[in-house]
Structure 1
Amino acid sequence: MEQLAIYCRKSQENKDRDSSSIEEQELQGKKLAKELGLEPVLFIEQTSSGKLDLKDRPIMIDMLQKISVKGSSIKAVFAYDTSRLYRNDETKGQFLTIIKRKNIELYFKAGRYDWNDPHAKLLHNILSATDEFFVDLTSMKIKDTLRSKAKNGKVNGAVLPYGYAKDENNYLKIDKEESKIIIKIFDDFIDGKTSTQIRNWLIDNKIPTRYNKIGGTNKIIHKERNETRVYKKSDSVWTNGTILQYLRNPIYKGQRRWGEEFFDAPIIIDPIKWEKANKSYINRNKGSLRGKSTEHKYLLTPLLQCGCGQSLNGRSNKLENYYGCAGKRYKEKRCNSKYMPIRVLDAIITHLVYGKLYDTVKESFSGSNSQKREELQSRINNLESELQKIETNQIRIEDLLADGIYTKDKYLRQTKRLDDKTNDIKIKKSNIEESLKSLKGDTNILEEIDELTNLAHSQIDYPFEDTHPDLMKNLANTIFKGYLALNLPFEEKQKTIRKYIKNILVKWIPESKIYEIVISYRLPIDDEIYLMDSLTLHLVDAQKRKIQWVNQARYNKHRDVAIEKAQKKLQKYVL
Structure 2
Amino acid sequence: MNVILYARVSTDDQSERGTIEGQLEFGKKYSELHQMNLVKIYQDDGISGTLELGDRNGGAELLSDIKNQKIHADVILVYKLDRLGRSARVILNAIHELDQHGIKVKSMTEDFDSGSPSGRFLVTMLAAVADLERETIIERMWHGANRAARKGKWLGGIVPYGYYVDEEGYLQINKTPLPKLEKSEADIVYMMYHLIGEKGHSAREVAKLLNSMAVPTSYIKDNRKVKRGKRKVKTSGYWRSSRVRSIIYNTTYKGMHYYGKRSNKNREIIERQVPAIVSPELWEKAVNTIKNHNLSSYESRDEKNLLRGLIKCGMCGRKYYALYYNGGKEKPPKYYFVCSGKVGESSVYDKCRSKNVPKVWLEELVWQDIVKFMDKPKSVIQEIVRELNIEKENSTNKNADLEIGILKNTIEAKENEKQSILDLFRKKLITPEDVEFQLKKINDEKQELLEKLHRWQAENKQNQDVKNRLSSAEKVLQELRKKINKDLSYREKREIIHSLVSDIVVHTIKTPGKKRDKANIQINYVFSIGQNYTDTD
Q: Same fold (TM over 0.5)?
A: no
Classify the TM-score, shorter chain.
0.3 to 0.5
TM-score (norm 2): 0.41
TM-score by length of 1: 0.39
Which has the larger Rg? 1
